[in-house]
Amino acid sequence: MPSGERHLKLEMILLPAFLGGYYYLDPTVNHLIAFGAAYLASSLLLTPDLDLRHNDTRKRWGLLGFIWIPYSKVFKHRGLSHNLFFGMLTRISYLSLLIGLGFAGAYYAGVNLPQVQQWQPNWPLIGAGVAGLYIPNILHALYDKWDTSRKMKRNRKLRARTGNVQTAR
CB neighbour list of residue 26: distance below 8 Å, 6 or more residues apart: 32, 124, 128
pLDDT at site 40: 97
The answer to whether residue 168 scores a pLDDT higher than 60 is: no
pLDDT at site 81: 84
Q: For the chain, what percent of residues have pLDDT higher than 90?
A: 53
**Structural element, H or E, at residue 129:** helix 123-162
Give the integer Cα–Cα distance in Å for 149 and 152.
5
The answer to whether residue 71 scores a pLDDT higher than 80 is: yes
pLDDT at site 21: 95
Give the pLDDT confidence of 78-104 residue by residue, as tens digits. 788 888 889 999 999 999 999 999 989
Nearest 5 degrees, angle CA 84-CA 96-CA 1? 35
pLDDT band at residue 169 using 50, 70 and 90 as cut-offs: very low
Nearest 5 degrees, angle CA 20-CA 25-CA 26? 95
The answer to whether residue 117 scores a pLDDT higher than 90 is: no
With the C-alpha atoms ordered 121, 122, 123, 127, is the resulting torsion angle positive or negative?
negative
Give the integer Cα–Cα distance in Å for 104 and 116.
14
